[in-house]
Structure 1
């Protein structure tokens, strides 16, 4: 606390008081700003704007001719103009372009109302635990709203000041965030607001609660405009089928979608023709084949063009004619390509790991989680070539490996599960758990970044220092989750490796905590310890 004295008998006493009060006020304002920044930092699970940019870049950019049809759609215009229809539900089968359609709508709404309205959005992704649950959706929407209108942060701070980051992560997070979200929507200063959620079907945790909240608040606050998208799932339909919902079925708008796909084909093939130097005849033949076989599916076109991009122009016509129509048939052809590859085993191991990890991973992490030949584990260029063989399933963006689409992962786990996991999916989780422990044993040590003194702020750390933890970053956060999902208690083949876990906790526990701190993942580490404690209790109970 600052100590100071004030004199009332001198000519400058007022100045002294004013200076001290000004200094205190300045300190208070700085402290308040710091607390607000901490609250925002803890609230943020992802930046939806960055997610949108990533999705658009992964799909080769946003083509206006592929989404502009929706702006003239009768149901869309009625939703815009009719106060009684506050919720717009865009529904369609996989690969029909729902996500890019919403990206286009967001751009149009931003162009029209960006200065006068709040436009908050969230993209669900089932393959990433950070953005595949109802709590994360609310965190993302609230984060966008308070970033655009900082005064709304008061609704978050009223609870955050008492609980800190746990407000967003503990067992009561959904209830707390629902209350905060509702308070924000009731705020008298809230301008026109659009709330947009893509891929509800990829919200794998808490979807019923999220759907109920959407229908409740869209009915209670009709001035708030909602847009959501999903596959044609009955469990979503039964909750969204209300008088306040305006549905747009992509299958019922087949003509508009087919024309949009045709524009997409023209764009992709003309780009290929320029890069690959196709003749006019080759270009036109490819366009005709894609138009005849796309079945109104953007993803099918994108995957075929991606493969053509890796094919010499001499073989382009032969290659394109070999692609069967339909997504499942295309995935089937690609798994045959994996089977017939000289690197088939490595491909299957990579596909297996990518099918069960809880978020997209980078090359360093992949190498630490899987057994690969020595010439691959140290050669990322060669590893990229292996991933290219899995081209219709996986892609690489900025050294991060991701599924091209949720339907690709669905196909693997539905159609070729036994081939990708010959010993079962649980065995795959146990293998990743085991590899994770080995990676941490190999990487972690005391003062791994050679900081040498206490009190160093984690926020001040810079690369390349943190590169030392790159390979073990995923393992540090998720090793207990993989042990849990190996279902050791239900299968004698995958018993809890007590000696290995015990050795890790005895020799690497403090090093692990240090690594979690450096990675900003202490809260995940606490959650992992609680899970591990429960697993050990269950293990000993079953042995008693």
Structure 2
């Protein structure tokens, strides 16, 4: 309160009498407002509003890195350099920098409650128990406790609709109850936050005695159960009424977003479930064949993937499946049908992540159609396929060694390299970019732009912190892996950057070789067969021999089957055609492997 008073006093001074003011309030309970990067970001923003000419110290960095400059893990270092340069600028007018609550994560002494604060919180909880807070109706004290329990256990701040789900509240009550719990909670832009770190510390320390006698484990179990129930009641096929093709990057949800109450639930339900001990009866009960987890996945799995895709969190879904799978596999003699479903679900999402992420409805189209015929997910959900897909033939029976295809480059990929820890993959392309991928999920991490010509090679430093890329523009560029920001451009070559003189000829391949990599110890090279592939998007005629089926309805481009100019079914890399035949609503694709794939559609006239 003292800091707020000082800032208001300084802000009210006439401009001619007061230096510029840049301020920030840390919040220990919110990850967006409790770190050094957040402090710098706000101070710089307010400083630029008052002294706009200082923007010159940020422009080049922003040009090179885009929004990642402000958001990546190591954004602090890039921003601190720009901030120091601003403060050294000879034109800088006097400025006050005010930062509150730097002590919240520092010194041991200041972490203790102020004298008597714990008793104050305890008194408020006694009032809640006694009906002295808010509406005196029956059940209201329990609603308050549910809200405080959910806010305490949640893995991020909750919106009001999300809180209503996790606290099991009537639809019209979340805001009222949060306001009545104002000694613990506050609302900012429709999101609920614990008002202070001391409030969270009190609720954590007194959870069992004040909020839920069954303890924290029961709280996590309740959140997981309520999340599953809410998702089951809300998720539906094509919930946003979209077309079958790619969604726009700037797509906005409907004004009344049906996913709003369950956004948190879709992402974190499995985290709360797995917070229980593996020998907890509540945990084991949910993993049986008649438990909630199996019931949800066997009925709503594809709709859950659609929802995750629409909120941009499909990779979180993959990690959720793996967490539950790991928990199930850790149980001795666990022979549940759930285990079989989870194993297949992990392969389904990892294999088709790329298309479901960009075209959510292809979860019911391409992902189902091109999963192996014996896939548990395909068999269980085949009736939910897009209505115009009548039948298929020529699809493989089992999942192969090929795990996933990572798509995004606009031209052929020229080189790939794994980071030393195996967690990141770098790919270089003729589209003049380098892309970084998360190996565990196949999700794209960053696109590195700056080369003026195709990139021909990439390599990680031994510590994995720096990536080097070589290009036909006669340069080598160094990149910071954590942030994707450029560190240096090495110039001086008079031609393409390439390797030195040959030392030996290694023979044995039956076709062209496009990339090489050393083993981690640098002593050997290996031949690796298609476990992972990365492709670019080339012209439609490049893989179909330029043939256009003579049909007014169906056309096969490079990676899509279209009908009357609209995308209807995406073709994975393994199923892209070298030749096409169309007769009415029957489609046959021939492939370079010698395989033939057959489709019969049933579009309504």
**TM-score grouping bracket, smaller chain normalisation:** 0.3 to 0.5
Which structure shows the higher strand fraction? 2
TM-score of the aligned structures, taking structure 1 as reference length: 0.47
Q: Select the structure that is richer in helix.
A: 1
Asked which structure has the greater RCO (Cα within 8 Å, sep 6+), the reply is 1
